């Protein structure tokens, strides 16, 4: 297959072009991942070109062919981001969680992750590529996290201001806010730091897509990250 160059946030990534069949699978099956959620549907529609680019990077990094939601063990598939794919570097001592929950202090910085250790980076499983496109809050009427600072490798991106998502101004009335789409490649260690103006408990989740081999996508509760 022909090699491609994919650009996210000004960074260049090597990709592998998709076949016509793979493109058809992507376009046909992507709506199935968001059929019950208007926010995700619009998110995916607005970022279709970026999603295709992320898939090209995943195909180059992980291998293909891309067969979507029914990927076999050695085939490339896609799925909504799951907590088990993005874990803290202290994952050996921290349990899987459905969201990233902390008790925040005012104006204190925290790392997005698991458990009580707020000082370490995130690890991405070596068999998965993660494409964050938004964040959501899963708890309470009073979200507190208002900003995200993301560093990938030697690049620190402009702060994502997400407090407008508190107001749930979308068709599903869910508290969610978009961030600039990016790719977290297999074995990468992104740093995602939060800031908040109020003290309190918040449960923040990444919203977007993952691409990986079918055997991993079919694991009900991934509990060990392969780095």
pLDDT in tens, 114-134: 445 455 567 788 889 999 999
Tell whether 54 and 87 lie within a shared domain: no
Tell whether 104 and 40 lie within a shared domain: no
Tell whether 152 and 99 lie within a shared domain: yes
Residue 91 pLDDT exceeds 50:
no
| Integer Cα distance of 117 and 110 in angstroms | 9
Per-residue tokens: 189: 């260690």
| Average pLDDT rounded to a whole number, residues 204-215 | 91
pLDDT at 55: 97
Q: 24, 44, 79 — which closes off a domain?
A: 79
Tell whether 122 and 97 lie within a shared domain: yes
Instruction: Return the top range by mean pLDDT from 62-76, 116-130, 184-198.
Output: 62-76
Band (pLDDT 50/70/90 cuts) for residue 153 is confident
Is residue 213 a part of any domain in this protein?
no
- Structural domains in the chain (count): 2
SS3 string of 50-99? HHHHHHHHHHHHHCCCECHHHCCCCCEEEEECCHHHEEECCHHHCCCCCC
Are 197 and 72 in contact by the 8 Å Cβ rule? The answer is no
Q: Is the peptide bond before 65 cis (omega within 30 degrees of 0)?
A: yes
pLDDT at 111: 56
Q: Where are the beta strands (DSSP E) in the chain?
A: 3-8, 11-16, 76-80, 86-88, 100-104, 110-111, 122-124, 128-137, 145-152, 155-156, 160-161, 176-178, 191-196, 200-213
pLDDT at 137: 85
Tell whether 94 and 173 lie within a shared domain: yes
Residue 101 pLDDT exceeds 70:
no
Is residue 27 a part of any domain in this protein?
yes
Per-residue tokens: 160: 């994502």
Q: Mean pLDDT, the chain, as a whole number?
A: 83
Residue 106 pLDDT exceeds 50:
yes
Question: What ranges in 138-197 are assigned the alpha helix state H?
Answer: none
Tell whether 91 and 195 lie within a shared domain: yes
Tell whether 154 and 101 lie within a shared domain: yes
Q: Position of tokens 């961030």?
A: 179
In this structure, the chain runs to a length of 227
Tell whether 62 and 173 lie within a shared domain: no
Residue 79 pLDDT exceeds 60:
yes
**Containing domain of residue 186, as a range?**
82-208
Handedness of CA 64, 67, 69, 71 (dihedral sign): negative
Is residue 219 a part of any domain in this protein?
no
Q: 79, 113, 138 — which closes off a domain?
A: 79
Band (pLDDT 50/70/90 cuts) for residue 54 is very high
Tell whether 158 and 57 lie within a shared domain: no
| Average pLDDT rounded to a whole number, residues 11-33 | 95
Residue 103 belongs to domain with CATH number: 2.60.120
Is residue 155 a part of any domain in this protein?
yes
Tell whether 55 and 87 lie within a shared domain: no
pLDDT at 6: 92
Instruction: Return the top range by mean pLDDT from 14-23, 150-159, 190-199.
Output: 14-23
Q: 46, 63, 79 — which closes off a domain?
A: 79
Alpha-carbon torsion angle 210, 213, 217, 220, nearest 10:
-140
* pTM, two decimal places: 0.89
Tell whether 193 and 96 lie within a shared domain: yes
């Amino acid at each position: 297959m022909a090699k491609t160059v994919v650009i996210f946030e000004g960074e260049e990534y090597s990709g592998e072009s998709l076949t016509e069949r793979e493109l058809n699978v992507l376009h046909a099956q992507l709506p199935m991942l968001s059929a019950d959620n208007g926010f995700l549907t619009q998110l995916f529609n607005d970022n279709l070109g970026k999603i295709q680019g992320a898939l090209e990077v995943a195909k180059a990094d992980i291998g293909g062919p891309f067969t979507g939601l029914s990927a076999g063990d050695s085939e490339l598939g896609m799925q909504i981001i799951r907590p088990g794919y993005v874990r803290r570097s202290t994952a050996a001592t921290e349990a899987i969680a459905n969201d990233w929950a902390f008790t925040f202090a005012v104006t204190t910085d925290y790392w997005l992750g698991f458990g009580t250790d707020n000082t370490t980076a995130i690890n991405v499983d070596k068999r998965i590529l993660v494409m964050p496109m938004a964040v959501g809050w899963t708890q309470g009427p009073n979200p507190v996290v208002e900003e995200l600072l993301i560093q990938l490798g030697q690049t620190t991106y402009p702060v994502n201001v997400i407090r407008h998502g508190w107001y749930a101004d979308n068709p599903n009335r869910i508290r969610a806010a978009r961030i600039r789409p990016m790719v977290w490649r297999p074995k990468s260690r992104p740093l995602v730091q939060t800031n908040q103006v109020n003290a309190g408990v918040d449960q923040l989740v990444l919203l977007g897509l993952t691409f990986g081999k079918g055997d991993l996508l079919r694991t009900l509760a991934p509990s060990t990250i392969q780095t």
